Structure 1
Amino acid sequence: MSLPSSPLRRPRLLIVGCGDVGMRVLKLLASRWQVFALTSSAERFAALRDAGALPLLGNLDEPATLSRLAGLAEHVLHMAPPASVGATDERSRHLLQALALRKAPRSLIYVSTTGVYGDCGGARFDETRATAPATERGQRRVDAEQQLRLFARRFGTRVSLLRVPGIYAPDRPGGHPRERLLSGAPVLRREDDVYTNHIHADDLARACVAALFHALPQRAVHVCDDTELLMGDYFDLAAELCGLARPPRLSRAEAAAQMSPVRLSFMSESRRLANVRLKRELRLKLRYPTVREGLV
């Protein structure tokens, strides 16, 4: 199946934020699509070309560098993270302003985060749950989602919000818990622990492609696997698979005294995500349905 396009050329896709997952998307699409990749570093041009993309130099923090994006592609995959401070996402604002200068794209896929929900006390829920971010990191993502919904209403673009939890893959930089296990970093004891959610980087890339074909307009989708583990149990499983010692366990009070606020914030939000829309609407069959398959 392919998206409707002119018989004279391949469909055009602009990837904004073409990091590890973006490169995986390129492997899936570059032979059949014309793909442009925005980068702020000319040093990445060779790698992007080798992967099948036409690199474009531009910086989301510098709006004047983005004007050439207007009308460039019918489809946009936005994976660029917000800046690291503040409660708003000015990078997304600059991107949308550039895209609005000419004919708006037909579809725009945004890779968001499940941090938009804040702490849910371990509840299991679907995408109809209201957002309630507890950190500026989550607030920036909610701001981006709201901007995209407004853009969709104004220009008729089919916007899809992919809410993504922890991304992992053995071949992804920092994408395997082995390094943390080797460092001896502790986890919370069971009575203080939180549920975490996961997705393999390859399945996330496949979900991005599936959204181009099948996503419903203005729809949020949880892109997560079927794993349902407390964080400590996840690291215990990884230790078993790697043949390493299990991490030490701390009480929450001990963790608060020893860990950085950023690391502690990831241990303060507990949720279990339903992925029915991912399977039914995006029609994605997970290649790695649980972390047990994906970590080996």
Structure 2
Amino acid sequence: MLPKTTRAKRPVLLIVGCGDVGLRVLRLVASRWRVLALTSSPHRVPELRAAGATPLLGNLDDPRTLARLAGLADAVLHLAPPPHVGERDARTAGLIRALALRSGPRALVYASTTGVYGDCQGACIDETRPLAPATARGRRRADAEARLRWAGRAFGWRTSLLRVPGIYALDREGGDPRERVRRGAPVLRAEDDVYTNHIHADDLARACVAALHRGRPQRAYNVSDCSVVKMGDHFDAVADRFGLPRPRRISRAEAAQEMSPMQLSFLSESRRLMNQRLLHELRLTLRYPTVAEGLGA
């Protein structure tokens, strides 16, 4: 349990990677926490300061700039992605080394990805499913998870791993599902289609806050809503909701000709996430329990 807010001293939260989700978290906690936000971009300093954070300049790709983070925060929210290449997450490794230089945080929450599970062939899975990442991107996330579990045990940090699927919100840059439909991007035909999982950006922010307070040590959580939907059906529903043409349906063989390797990687994994830990251990009541409700908002 983190220290309670008092008039004399508020607990300090360090957000590493304060993008869209980090700013949503900041709005939720600004009245109860003093928030520090690590950024490598000087031009973001005014934006972060206006949002209520104290900006700190530092670069996860240059560990020499991270030493100042040691001993600053009661809790850390790690939302930064791993490097774009390789099988390991050197950014998380450098962050751990910096935080461990002095008295470390009591709690650390990391936003990982459900890609660490690999392809589950449509099975319903919980957090006990063995990790089997099929992409370098997934393996980098699995590496970060392993490093953070180790750090939690070694330094006594209460580390929570949030395994996050597709993040959406109509006001989220890069997360508005209408954009894909408007571009005319195709989806797989029904017999080739895969299950997909989602979480509204506001509910993800609320899950981050819940994990800071109630996450169990070295524990993973599937941060997904309660939808059970295949990808093509999902984008059909988006099109219908906003009066857009439904996406064209293509075969897997046609997708291999039309889509990039990155796009194909999302079509090669199918799983249905169980979220009981999120709902019961973190005691989170989803504001948008299905994508239909999130789009309706």
Where on the TM-score scale, by shorter chain, does this alignment land: which range?
over 0.9
Amino acid at match of 1:41: S
Are 1:30 and 2:30 counterparts?
Answer: yes
Contact 1:17-1:78 at 8 Å conserved across structures: yes
Amino acid at match of 1:3: L
- The 3-state SS of whatever aligns with 2:161 is strand
Q: How does 1:101-120 map to 2 (within 5 A)?
A: 101-120=101-120
Q: Give the direction of change, closer, same or farther, for the CA distance of 1:230–1:6 in structure 2 (3 Å limit).
A: closer
Amino acid at match of 2:197: N
CA distance in 2, matches of 1:243, 1:129: 39
Are 1:15 and 2:4 counterparts?
Answer: no
Contact 2:193-2:231 at 8 Å conserved across structures: yes
Q: Give the direction of change, closer, same or farther, for the CA distance of 1:279–1:6 in structure 2 (3 Å limit).
A: closer
Shift of 1:53: 0.4
| 2:178 corresponding residue in structure 1 | 178
- The 3-state SS of whatever aligns with 1:295 is helix
Q: How does 1:20-99 map to 2 (within 5 A)?
A: 20-99=20-99
Contact 2:165-2:197 at 8 Å conserved across structures: yes
Shift of 1:32: 1.3
- The 3-state SS of whatever aligns with 2:109 is strand
CA distance in 1, matches of 2:43, 2:257: 41
Contact 2:5-2:32 at 8 Å conserved across structures: no
CA distance in 1, matches of 2:273, 2:78: 22
Q: Give the direction of change, closer, same or farther, for the CA distance of 1:6–1:234 in structure 2 (3 Å limit).
A: closer
Please report the TM-score for the alignment, with normalisation by the length of structure 2: 0.98
CA distance in 2, matches of 1:214, 1:6: 16
Shift of 1:248: 0.4
Shift of 1:5: 4.7
| 1:3 corresponding residue in structure 2 | 2
CA distance in 2, matches of 1:153, 1:81: 23
Amino acid at match of 1:42: P
Instruction: Please list the CA deviations of residues 221-268 of structure 1 after superposition, one character each: whole Å capped at 9, or x if unmatched.
Output: 000000110000000000010101110001101110111111011010
CA distance in 2, matches of 1:80, 1:180: 24
Instruction: Please list the CA deviations of residues 27-55 of structure 1 after superposition, one character each: whole Å capped at 9, or x if unmatched.
Output: 00011100000000111111111111000
Contact 1:119-1:269 at 8 Å conserved across structures: yes
CA distance in 1, matches of 2:154, 2:32: 30
Please report the TM-score for the alignment, with normalisation by the length of structure 1: 0.98
Contact 1:176-1:295 at 8 Å conserved across structures: no
| 1:131 corresponding residue in structure 2 | 131
- The 3-state SS of whatever aligns with 1:162 is strand
CA distance in 2, matches of 1:4, 1:138: 34
Amino acid at match of 2:185: A
What runs of 5+ residues in structure 2 fail to find an aligned partner? none
CA distance in 2, matches of 1:14, 1:3: 14
Are 1:272 and 2:256 counterparts?
Answer: no
CA distance in 2, matches of 1:216, 1:150: 15
Instruction: Please list the CA deviations of residues 261-289 of structure 1 after superposition, one character each: whole Å capped at 9, or x if unmatched.
Output: 11011010000000000000000000000
| 1:262 corresponding residue in structure 2 | 262
Q: How does 1:153-192 map to 2 (within 5 A)?
A: 153-192=153-192
CA distance in 2, matches of 1:9, 1:133: 43
CA distance in 1, matches of 2:253, 2:180: 21
- The 3-state SS of whatever aligns with 2:128 is coil
Contact 2:160-2:219 at 8 Å conserved across structures: yes
- Alignment: residue pair count: 295
Give the RMSD, CA atoms, in angstroms: 1.0
CA distance in 2, matches of 1:233, 1:170: 18
CA distance in 2, matches of 1:179, 1:208: 26
Contact 1:83-1:89 at 8 Å conserved across structures: yes
CA distance in 1, matches of 2:265, 2:86: 16
Shift of 1:294: 0.6
